[in-house]
Structure 1
Amino acid sequence: MATAEPVVVNAPLAPAPELAGPLTQTVNVLGSGGSFSGKQAYVQDLGRIGGIGVSAKYNSAVEKGYLPLTATVADVDQNGNVATANVTATLPNGVTRTMPLSFVQGPSPTGWQLSQQSLFTLAGMLG
């Protein structure tokens, strides 16, 4: 009779300070202003409809002067292909906010994409 092996569902996060650079670059590319076109590679798959909505909101934020923003990343932890970090984003008007964001490994130039939920969290800062 076979015995079942225990499975760890919620493995502990491992500190991963070496990811701060790629994650910072991911957020800074997304917050660089200009058109949203070409930035989809830095976000977890939004689908066609989600991409259209995000693009419209992004372009509106650019028009209102909310972008570009600058970001710094700290306290990076990794669990498999997911990383979490405290991201401090500063808008052109000086408003600064720190928020926890999640990233997934994916096909972007940095190797990391902002998760869909974290994109909406970051967008919430823009109003």
Structure 2
Amino acid sequence: MIIIAVKLIRKVIEVKEVSFNELQSEIEKELVLVEFSTPTCGVCTTVKRKLEAIEENYPQWKFLYIDINKNPEASGAFTVFTAPTIIIFHDGKELNRWARNFGMNQITDYMGRIMEMLRTRV
């Protein structure tokens, strides 16, 4: 079982234990940013705070947090070898990932491009 925290505007709204199939189902629903992290990682803590700060600007997105220490099967399934790792999914497909050394502007710029692409596609 995988433990995920579903976040919404700086608050964890739900912590639940899910199977890998249920996690896949969450990822397939919409635009999803998954943060693979550990609570003891200093860089991870900073990234988590920064993600919480931008969440309200992206109401169409679901933000998920996975502790890779408690959920090694999720790390393996998504080929996550370091923390923090951020993966962006759309319609269940991985669009991009950042690991360990990245800036938040890279992530927000990419999220903005995805939103623009989806707006022009309709």
| Structure 2 length-normalised TM | 0.31
Normalized per residue, the structure richer in helix is: 2
Normalized per residue, the structure richer in strand is: 2
